Structure 1
Amino acid sequence: MKNVNRLTYGAILLAIFAIILLITLYIPVIGIIMNLFLPLPFIMFAGKNDIKSSLVFFIASIFISLIVGTLFAIPLTLAYGMTGLIMGILIREGKSRFNVFIIGTLVFLLNLVGSYIFSIVFFEVNIIKDSIDLLRESLQSSQKLLSSLGQDTSDTMMKQFENAFSMLETLVPSIFVISSIVMVFIIELVNTPIAKRFGIKIKNWDPFRNIFLPRSIIWYYLLLLLLSIFLKPETGSFLYSALINIGFILQFLLLIQGLSFIYYFSYIKNFSKAVPVIVTITLFFIPIVLYIVRILGIIDLGFDLRKRLGKKDS
């Protein structure tokens, strides 16, 4: 791309970025949706230009965000802009969609954690802890209100709520990881079709049914179970938090593996496409289905069920 064309292209994309950022910051309802498109200008620019030019574009976007939204816009620009930039560079280099997704997730996660730590250290604001404390206060207020109306609340129920809040605090690292995975997946989902329409060459996803995670995940999961049984870490300790979070992430991966197997099984048996979709939706409403799918993931990884069922070319 010639210098004049590159400058014009960059200026147009920066203007689009500024508009999306304005809507995100100042129009609450629409902004929630529009923030998903913040990485688009970065994907489109980095997808057609070299790394040096892309970095200049990224620096220019930070100045734009300062003008448009002051310091509060910087975290958004860093998180979405850097993620879009890296994704665009990887796309231009012809990397697979899975690699783009994984690296994009890591970049988004680093920015998310960085922003969280920055807000605690420099502004003494812990959004997650403050939100949980607010939930605790609301629960206590509700308990007092019910007591004043002559309706006693069960101590067991209140203890369960308190345990849930404590677990939520423990799972903060896992929540960051899962949130980053979901966010980058949605970002890819909504932005790549638009980028394709404007001439960015993006590879297609491999079918979900072909996903096969490393078998080492089973050994990590087994080791985790053994450590939990023999070490019996004290609740609230660092070891307890580490084991809980690693276990949560491993269980999530096993769930993905189990779902992938169900999609594969439905494919080779020529079931309706609605069958695996219904199973996926059911996970959110019937907990036992979630456990069954996770067990399927363990069996698939450990015993290679797909090989036993026979392969069918996609």
Structure 2
Amino acid sequence: MKFRLATVAWSVIYLLLLLTLLTPLKIITVFLLIVPGAVLFSSLHFKGFLIHVMPALLILALLDVYSLLLAIYFLIPSMLMGRIYKRGGSSFQALMTGMGVILAEFLVVLLIATYSFGFDLSQYLRDQAAITENIVQQILSANPMLSGTNWTAEDTQQLGTMLIGRVPYVLIVTSFLLAVITHALVRPALSSLDVPVRKMKPAREWRLPRALIWYYLLAIVIEWIASSSNGSWIQMVSISMLPLVHACFTIQTIGFVYFWMHSRKMSSVIALLLSLVVLIVPPLRIIGIIDLAFPLREAITRSKK
């Protein structure tokens, strides 16, 4: 946990990544922005962490205060993931924490934008669909070969609905991707700094907290509230929360499949094929719900004895 050349190098890397927020490169480097903070928080005491990151943040603040807000946005998951690494938590816990925090931040930003600045994401996406309609109409009009093709108002409405429906998927996948990239880079970096990081548990040991059942019930209640509300934010929370909980149940189901195959001493290839079936057939996540709510694995173990 001492100051060393490697941690100073990571603070320099952090500064360089922050400076790319002022350039078009931020489209790429934003996916790496959590990494330096997580490495520094894991390998240093909190005071040392502040000494390393504060100069970089101050330099960015002098150049562009709006980019500073983005830097702070990504510093929060850095610190929370780094805290898990420092305390010897599992890699799976770090991944799920990072993903959950990033997704929660997305929703908080949407809340602030909705109620402080009057931003309506649903209307924005519908406006984008209307802009797409105008572009398509111009292309169809300019090309005689496509003169028989029409883009109707119904097509525009369907496109807007599709865009709104894809928002939860995009948020979840983006959060997961950021967490995975961070973990993949932080783990070898911490190993080089002599900070031990636990390996990912085998799939048969994947078990999520039983409290997820209560989150599922909460998501259902929020969906019920959102159905009778015109608020853009509460609707976005609803359509984002349920897919996230469903994804967790799918992970739990895959963990159970691997546990079941392992208990029967069957090939992991079969477990992999069954896991693909779970991904293709979403209703099978009910197995994960049962596995969380009841001691299903213990029952299988006892039956073998």
Would you call these one fold, judging by a TM-score over 0.5?
Answer: yes
Post-superposition Cα deviations, 1:249-301, rounded to whole Å, max 9, x if no partner, equal 332222222222223233334444444445555677x4xx223x323323433
Q: Is the 8 A contact 1:61 1:77 kept in 2?
A: no
What does residue range 1-314 of structure 1 map to in structure 2 within 5 Å?
6=3, 8-22=5-19, 26=23, 28=25, 32=27, 34-66=29-61, 70-109=64-103, 111-113=105-107, 115-116=109-110, 130=124, 133-139=127-133, 141-142=135-136, 149-152=147-150, 159-168=157-166, 171=168, 176=171, 179-215=174-210, 217-218=212-213, 221=216, 233-234=227-228, 236=230, 243-278=238-273, 286=280, 289-291=281-283, 293-310=284-301
The structure-2 alpha-carbon separation of the partners of 1:13 and 1:136, relative to structure 1 and needing over 3 Å to count, comes to same
Q: How has the CA–CA distance of structure 1 residues 21 and 166 changed in structure 2, closer, same or farther, with 3 Å as cutoff?
A: closer
Flag the 1:75–1:272 CA change in 2: closer, same or farther, 3 A.
farther
Cα 1:275–1:218 shift into 2, 3 Å? same
Whether the aligned pair in 2 keeps the contact of 1:258 and 1:296 (CA below 8 Å) is: yes
Distance 1:81 1:300 in 2: 35
Q: Distance in 2 between matches of 1:240 and 1:24?
A: 31
**SS of the residue aligned with 1:310?**
helix
Deviation at 1:62, TM superposition (A): 0.5
| 1:282–1:163 distance in 2 versus 1, CA, 3 Å | same
Q: Which runs of 5+ in 2 are unaligned?
A: none
Deviation, structure 1 residue 75 = 3.6
Identity of aligned residues (%): 21
Between the two proteins, the alignment pairs up a number of residues equal to 298
Instruction: Report if aligned partners of 2:77, 2:102 keep a CA contact under 8 Å in 1.
Output: yes
Greater relative contact order (Cα 8 A, min sep 6): structure 1 or 2?
2
Given the superposition, is the C-alpha separation of residues 27 and 191 from structure 1 closer, same or farther in structure 2, using an over 3 Å criterion?
farther
User: Aligned partners of 2:11, 2:52: CA distance in 1, in Å?
Assistant: 8
Q: Post-superposition shift, 1:187?
A: 1.2
Q: Which whole-Å CA distance do the structure 2 matches of 1:19 and 1:277 have between them?
A: 41
TM-score, with structure 2 as normaliser: 0.72
Cα contact 1:46–1:88 (8 A) shared by 2: yes
Where does the alignment leave 5 or more consecutive residues of structure 1 unmatched? Answer: none
- 1:70-102 deviation line (CA, Å, top 9, x unaligned): 335324421333322333333223334344344
Work out the CA distance in 2 between the residues paired with 1:226 and 1:85. 31
Rounded Cα–Cα distance in structure 2 between residues aligned with 1:279 and 1:236: 41
CA contact (8 A) 1:79 1:112 kept: no
- 2:229 & 2:116 partners in 1: Cα distance? 29
**Shift, 1:165, TM fit:** 3.6
DSSP-derived class of the 1:206 partner: coil
Report if the CA contact (8 A) 1:13-1:41 is conserved.
Answer: yes
